[in-house]
Structure 1
């Protein structure tokens, strides 16, 4: 399967996203919910190390991005998260966009995501987008060959097919809203 030719080759800045009150709601998620949701996550890859996830939507198979499912938490969060997704993806101009994966990722202080490439076929076509919810100056996002610092309330597409990694060298967690997006008509 070929990769989407419209995917970024490094990092693409997509612009500001008005987080409104949803940022405070995400920051208020109790640790027991993070732990419970992380224990059942489908993305248990060694490269993710100690990063916790709350999954809202996920692909039904790592072989195909076109089929996905919603978790029980999605109906509770959908009306708050969908406006963020719409703002972040506006620059693409897709009339019929879809979001196969939507999740929160929390990396602890001194946490790492080891260098890796998203190798499963379901990751080859959708754009991989990050919206930082909480960060600190010690967080470095590496997308070969450069290192970036992503700011809260900004959206970024990352090249998930290139070697990438993250290090939280700060004293606070890093929380990102991470999702995938593709044009159903393409």
Structure 2
């Protein structure tokens, strides 16, 4: 069976709408992010691995990323991770506290900065590596003009409130305000959860000549 014909079902633990995860202390991280020079944003964005047209003018600083878009189980630290790890790890741990995973893994971790007037066009996260991890946002700075669509409904996510979103359904974001919208965005999965039945045959089919 070809990779295209396999049914790559989503992790049943993922939300199909949005899942509020509660408040997170972002004080130190938000202050550090506010101090990032523009030339650092420009350089990190130019080197980012997630260059997709739907992201439009949104800039990113990527701390961790998957080795392959086919498999979430392999990921790596990018150069910025070492300097930012001490600020990021407490926020990540606090945001995921209710999942209760003994061996949770963060395959992708990044900052996303959307300017006033910016948009992220309607899309779904179609790569197989997005099928299994939870997709979580922690807003660091926002404004009332920031609106996003997840799970078929529009939302405004307040600063410091972590939320899991449905990345496998159509979603978009729009910043109609007059200030940047900066989110910490990351993925999270349970290393003790059995792999889906489709993963091994999919990887074999993908590797076939």
TM-score (norm 2): 0.88
Please give the alpha-carbon distance, in whole angstroms, between the structure 2 residues aligned to 1:170 and 1:58.
30
Q: Hey, which of these two has a bigger chunk of strand by percent?
A: 1
Task: Give the drift of 1:28.
Answer: 0.9
Per-residue CA deviation, residues 105-158 of structure 1 (Å, 9 max, x unaligned), is 000001000000000000000000000000000000111410000000110000
In the alignment, does 2:122 pair up with 1:90? no
Task: Give the drift of 1:73.
Answer: 0.8
**Which 4+ stretches in 1 moved above 4 angstroms?**
none
Q: Equivalent residue for 1:105?
A: 112
Task: Give the drift of 1:20.
Answer: 2.4
Pick from 41, 58, 61 the counterpart of residue 68 of structure 2: 61
Tell me if the contact between 2:16 and 2:151 (Cα under 8 Å) persists in the aligned partners: no
Please give the alpha-carbon distance, in whole angstroms, between the structure 2 residues aligned to 1:41 and 1:17.
26
Pick from 171, 184, 203 the counterpart of residue 177 of structure 1: 184
Task: Give the drift of 1:181.
Answer: 0.1
Matches for 1:1-186 after TM superposition, within 5 Å: 1-186=8-193
Please give the alpha-carbon distance, in whole angstroms, between the structure 1 residues aligned to 2:170 and 2:29.
31
Give the unaligned 5+ runs of structure 1: none
Give the unaligned 5+ runs of structure 2: 1-7, 194-209
- Say what the alpha-carbon RMSD is for the aligned residues: 0.7
**Which structure has the larger Rg?**
2
How many residue pairs get matched? Answer: 186
